[in-house]
């Protein structure tokens, strides 16, 4: 008896739009994952492979681990030994019982330095993959089955992986569902250099610079300097934060260095900026 859906079944497909595929590579063979409309998780069942993308170069993934491949990137992997991979493809992250609560996770984790990395399989995920492997080996290509297994996968993420691991795994998916501009603006206050901003946003410096110029029509350094000026002016005019605290916050070497900065960009000394703002508020009250 065939396990394959009959060709007349409307849910049968040669390639499920959201589902799993079974990949076997010999040592030295390569696999390319092009940019597209689907996200992928590569579950490495046996062997080791090396993967490179805009996120990270020449990263070795070990047996019993998985990596998330975001749809906006191009990935190239090379088998370092004979490998068996189960690849999960999906467009959005969620399950029928509930969506993975990304918003609540982000609300709890104030700061995360994202880096493309592998995560170990746990027992529930391994059991799911063993069943998926059985279905794939028996050519079961029903969309209903594949969608159900993708949903089961996210239920496992929700209940058997910590919020920190969920966020680190799907950081790109969550933050790139926001605009690139939002991602930059949300993370810029946390960092002091362009390199740090690119790293916390999850991009290589070259890819970050290219995307930044397209989005902001400015260089990251110039934009960050302008944001710095705006924020320092706000602190001087709208708050009573001591000058020494602002100097420390923005890594000025001393009060003179800070005064030179204010004269150059605000056309006044920091004390004069604050004094004039205070007088203006008093006149309006």
User: How far is the C-alpha of 132 from the C-alpha of 52, rounded, in Å?
Assistant: 26
- Our count of domains for the chain comes to 3
Whether residue 117 lies inside any domain: the answer is yes
Do 156 and 171 reside in the same domain of the chain?
Answer: yes
65 and 125 housed in the same domain: yes
pLDDT of residue 175: 54
Long-range contacts of 54-62 (CB under 8 A, 24+ apart): 54/203, 54/204, 54/207, 55/116, 55/172, 55/202, 55/203, 55/204, 56/115, 56/116, 56/204, 59/116, 59/117, 59/118, 61/118, 62/118
Let me know whether 154 and 270 are in one domain.
Answer: no
CA distance 178 to 188: 15
The per-residue pLDDT string of the chain (285 residues; one tens digit each, 9 = 90 and over) reads 344 555 555 444 444 567 999 999 999 999 999 887 688 999 999 999 999 988 888 999 999 999 999 887 889 999 999 999 999 998 766 544 444 455 555 555 555 667 899 999 999 999 999 999 999 999 888 888 898 999 899 999 989 998 888 888 887 776 554 557 767 887 788 788 999 888 777 677 888 898 898 888 999 999 999 999 999 999 999 999 999 999 998 889 999 999 999 999 999 999 999 999 999 888 887
- What was the pLDDT predicted at 13? 47
Verify that 47 and 173 share a domain, yes or no: yes
Are both 49 and 142 inside the same structural domain?
yes
User: Looking at the structure, do residues 130 and 51 belong to the same domain, yes or no?
Assistant: yes
Are residue 158 and residue 192 in the same domain, yes or no?
no
Residues 186 and 51 in one domain: no
Q: In terms of residue numbers, what domain contains 184? A: 180-217
Does residue 8 lie in a domain region?
no
Q: Do residue 134 and residue 265 come from a single domain? A: no
Residue 113 is predicted with a pLDDT of: 67
The CATH number of whichever domain residue 93 belongs to comes to 2.60.120.10
DSSP characters over 19-69: EEEEEEE-TT-EEEE---S-EEEEEEEES-EEEE-SS-SSEEEPTTEEEEE
Residue 97: per-residue pLDDT = 47
**At 233, which CATH number?**
1.10.10
Model pLDDT, residue 283? 87
Domain shared by 204 and 170, yes or no = no
């Amino acid at each position: 008896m065939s396990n394959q859906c009959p060709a007349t079944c409307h849910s049968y497909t040669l390639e499920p739009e959201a589902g799993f595929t079974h990949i076997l590579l010999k040592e030295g063979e390569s696999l390319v994952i092009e940019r597209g409309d689907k996200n992928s998780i590569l579950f490495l069942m046996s062997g080791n492979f090396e993967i490179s993308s805009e996120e990270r170069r020449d990263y070795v993934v070990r047996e019993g681990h998985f990596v998330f491949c975001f749809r906006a990137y191009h990935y190239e992997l090379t088998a370092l030994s004979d490998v068996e991979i189960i690849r999960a493809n999906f467009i959005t992250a969620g399950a029928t019982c509930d969506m993975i609560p990304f918003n609540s996770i982000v609300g709890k984790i104030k700061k995360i330095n994202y880096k493309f990395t592998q995560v170990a399989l746990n027992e529930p995920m391994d059991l799911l993959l063993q069943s998926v492997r059985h279905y794939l080996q028996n050519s079961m290509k029903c969309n209903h089955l594949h969608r159900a297994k993708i949903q089961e996968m996210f239920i496992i993420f929700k209940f058997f992986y910590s919020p920190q691991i969920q966020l680190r795994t799907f950081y790109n998916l969550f933050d790139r569902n926001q605009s690139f501009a939002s991602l930059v603006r949300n993370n810029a206050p946390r960092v002091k250099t362009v390199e740090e901003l690119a790293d916390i946003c999850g991009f290589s410096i070259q890819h970050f610079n290219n995307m930044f110029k397209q989005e902001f029509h400015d260089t990251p350094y110039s934009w960050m300097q302008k944001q710095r000026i705006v924020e320092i002016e706000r602190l001087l005019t709208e708050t009573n934060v001591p000058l020494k605290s602002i100097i420390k916050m923005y890594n000025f070497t001393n009060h003179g260095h800070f005064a030179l900065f204010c004269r150059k960009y605000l056309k006044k000394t920091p004390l004069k900026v604050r004094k004039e703002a205070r007088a203006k508020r008093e006149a309006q009250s």
